[in-house]
Structures are given as structure tokens and as C-alpha cells.
Amino acid sequence: VFSVSWSPDGKYLASDSCYKNVIIWDINSEEKFKLLKGHSYQVNSVSWSPDGNYLASGSWDSTIIIWDANSGEILKTFNHSFFDVFSVSWSPDGKYLASGSADDTIIIWDAKGGEKLKTLEGHYGYVNSVSWSPDGKYLASCSGGWNVERDIGELFIWDANSGQSLKSLEGH
């Protein structure tokens, strides 16, 4: 298990799996509520939509799947690139999805239509995690330790509207 995400109502927990699945757990019964199958390789990240109706998952198969959290049905599949997707995160308003990948980029997607809206570049290593600010104006991303030439950690803060990097912090 590489990632977990609470449902907004706190009743469920989603987890990913190296067995290509996403599991939704019922916290009260401590049982598997749903087993979501659709990725062809290890799942690295899961994220609930703010309204709790959808789940996003990112995988080593280079895809992001949008699931109906109630039925478990696959609604959309986004192809990030030819590289592993390490992180997915919904914007606070649920209109956008950000994904971080092994190609050192972040993509901001239209969550409903699936179009790539922006590609953010600047990392020197795999983008391991992406996270929206509570107001949705900013996106944070981190990478590090995977690039042989620059074995350092990086943290970027991006203007989500313009796609411009506002800050870049490095450390070990």
C-alpha cells in the first residue's frame, strides 16, 4: 500500500495496491466495501473528490482512472505520459485533478472532460506527490532521490492558474 485517502464524510478509506486494485474500506465494519479493478500495473496513489462521489487513482501503467465511488464503475481513463503516475490530487472545488509522474512533470487536468490543461515543468526527479492549497490557488509538488545527477529533494509551489513556479526549495 502506497497511498490512502479518506472519503469527505469520513465513513470510508480508499487504499491503493501493488496488485493493480483500489480498495474502499468501510471504517465502521472494518471490511472491504468495494474492490476496484482496472489498472494493468501497480497503483501508487488514490484521492477522493471533494464531494465524495468519485475516486482518482494513478498507476505505474501511466494512467489515471476516475471511478464512480458508489458503483465502482470506471468513468474515465487519462493517459499521463509513457511514465509512471506517482500522485493524484483533486482541487478543492472538484473541477481539476493534478498528477505527478516519473517524467518529472505535473499535469493539471479538467476532471470532467479529461483534457490536459497545463503541464508544469521544473523538477529534476520523479514527482512523488502533489497537493492543492485549501483555496485552490496553489499547487505544491515534491521530488527527489531518484535522479542520479541531482540526489536532492525538491519542493515547488505553483500558481495553479498560470502554471508558473512561485518557489523552489531544495534540501537533502
Section 163-172 average pLDDT: 76
pLDDT tens for each residue of 141-155:
998 755 556 566 788
Question: What are the E-state strand segments in 4-68?
Answer: 4-6, 12-16, 21-26, 31-37, 43-48, 54-59, 63-68
pLDDT per position as a tens digit, 93-117? 999 999 998 888 999 999 999 999 9
3-state secondary structure of 129: strand
Flag whether pLDDT at 172 surpasses 60.
no
Return the pLDDT at 149: 60
pLDDT of 120 reads 94
**Residues 123, 125: Cα–Cα separation, whole Å:** 6
Q: What is the rounded CA–CA span in Å between residue 70 and residue 51?
A: 12
What's the pLDDT score for residue 125? 80
pLDDT at residue 150, rounded to an integer: 56
